[in-house]
Structure 1
Amino acid sequence: MDKLLRKRILETDEIIKLYLDGKSTTSIAKLANVSPRYIRMLLKENNVEMRPRGSWRRIYTVNEDYFKTWSNNMAYILGFFIADGMVSSNHQMISFSQKEKYILENIRSELDSNHKITKNNSDVYLLNINSKEMKKDLKEIHGVGPNKTSNIKFPYVPKEYMSHFVRGYFDGDGFVKYEKYFISFVGGSKLFMQSLRNVIDEYGFETNFTEHDTYYRVYVSGRKTIKLFSDWMYQNKGLYLRRKYEAFQKETLPLDQLKDRGIKVHKNAIKNRKLERKNCD
């Protein structure tokens, strides 16, 4: 093994990129000055899904410039990715994850991609996109990089696309309990979640904000309020999770008969408001 490592002339990331771009292990081995067997072993050690032998000419494609131009669906996918996506720190790859496969299929189609969707041991579907350009754009244009969970800031989103961005984030990290007339968003970055709350407030929807040990929540509550909020969030909808959308369709009364009275505020929100008042005294 040491002998092979000494004479190898390509880095691991370069080898993985060549393989994901469709090169065969034999051709990569020649470029790297090692054996095909060594290339296969290296790929397996780095959890790279192996293609059947003889299929190496299949090349995965994607619209690498997708995140350069705003659209309703781009805003949705950006919000969804911030909630349920991952930027690899070691490879030129971004990854979407979701338990409902069809939404990843829809996102893949929107990205003009033919990358495979796989399933992990936790029954979560993964869409891994190999693209140096996409990874670069997510970081440099939208501020989304590796280890984004606790330190990401709210990106610039044009107002005309804000409802689609919020819907994307909601489909990734949002929850609706229509019988209790509240919805919530969760996230690990305080800066992002505070900005999300401010955005929702700016559109006229009253919110509550709670802090926990490792995450933060933004609540929107009230029977009439969440009806209005869902109408805003799903306006001109393109991509969306059917399960969450259908939860809002349980409302049976017309808007002019809805009221927000009788809604219990989450106990953590009450606790936080008491702390805020105490700090102001």
Structure 2
Amino acid sequence: MDDTWGWAIGGVFTTRMALGHGIDRDVLTAGCRRGVIRSLGRGLYGVGPAAASPEARHAELCRALLLEYPDAVLAGRSALLASGLPVWGMPLSTALLRRPVDRQVTRSGARIRALDPGATVIDTQTGPATSPVHAIVQAALDHGAAVGVVTADAALGRGVVAHDALVAETSRRAGHRRVQQAVAMTSLCDDRSESVGESRLRLVLVAAGLAVTPQVQVRDAGGALVGRVDLAVDGTNVLVEFDGLVKYRDGGPEALVREKRREDRLRELGYVVVRITWQDLRHPDRVVAAVRRAVAISRRHAA
């Protein structure tokens, strides 16, 4: 870090802090031009190269905003990220804060809402934030049921929240004009989904009217476990696997060979296996069509 900015806190600072260290606005402008600091929003700066991911950049923005507003707490998507929960489908270019204001305010890099006296505040590495229960429901209200489900699945699976608590928080927000989005989220979330991709895949199939069960154990005639599959289409021999490729990357060629043998064994037992990738999820209609074709094949074989 350039010694000029060594007083920055966690690599971020505000204009007010700079002025307090004798650094005027012309120096700030020159620093941005040279690339040694970056503007994160009006009056907010980061030191050094930009963070690599949208999530890391959002966390940096949140830290700077909390320096600007010491009376604020992170909320919604910003609180979820601070708690280490997935934020798929949420806009990360702006943060969401709550502080003592009379009405919602929008500023460069943030949306600021009034404090919610019913929300529990916790400490995170990023700063004070509303609890995961409150933040998940807020995300569903702000961004829709599907977005809320993806995060709720992860939080439930990790034991971070309880389903009853999500229902109670949704009931507390009964007067919100988009509360039905949160209600839908509580009815669709499932702690058995083990990744963002699996949650999204399940939602695509359920929306198409396909009943599915997550994380099903498949056993052979002797009762030996052949494998645990991501989703089984209820009432059929169709299994749907989300292929995120992480297990192959981490496990190397051996993992790929094991997965091939496992799938061969499932097919030998009469199952029809459909593999879905991240790319496939960009085209939900194609995903549904592929699973419906598999169901038709399964039924023909059973006839």
Structure holding more strand per residue:
2
Same fold, TM-score > 0.5, yes or no: no
Highest RCO, 1 vs 2 (Cα 8 Å, sep ≥ 6): 1
Tell me which structure has the larger Cα radius of gyration.
2
Structure 2 length normalisation: TM-score?
0.28
Structure 1 length normalisation: TM-score?
0.30
